[in-house]
Amino acid sequence: MEVETQPQISREWMQETAANGTVSVELENRAAQGLRIDHLQKGLMRCTFVVPPSASDANGEWQVGAIATIIDIIASMVILSETGIARAQVTMDYNISYYSSANIQEEVEIEAKVLGDKGKLTSAVVEVKRKYDGKLIAVAKQWTASNEFRAPWTKQRSKL
């Protein structure tokens, strides 16, 4: 029996999520539709994505909010490959610089790397480039914290 590594488990979960979406997050499902994971290892991920018509702005280009959403999804995925924490990530700092855009139906490459893992804090950087000419579209840096907080009303209360 082969023992699965964290990146293998992460890849299976990510591909399932990208293909079928999650029940509760419609925006993320629409934004990640068509995302293909080309390479995944612990703390590093490369993807290919064709910009869908649903992500268009008034000029027929990739809308910046849709770019931010896909970057956030991929940053979470690469952090998952590093930490193994899927649900308890809270974004602490999120910074995106936009340099250009892509047209609808254009293929882009997205590379994400974990820069640092300091226990509960993890940092990742995501670069988005046009596939045909390598022109930089956006760069994002994101810090997340694993959250073990439980609201007081979710704890079991004593019956006494």
- 84-117 exposure pattern, b = at least 16 Cβ within 10 A, e = fewer: ebeeebeeeeeebeeeebbebebebbbbbbbeee
Domain 6-145 has CATH 3.90.1150.10: no
Residue ranges of the domains in the chain?
6-145
pLDDT by residue (tens digit) across 4-30? 555 555 556 556 655 554 444 555 556
pLDDT by residue (tens digit) across 93-139? 899 999 999 999 999 999 999 998 887 888 999 999 999 999 999 99
CB-based contact 13:23 (threshold 8 Å): no
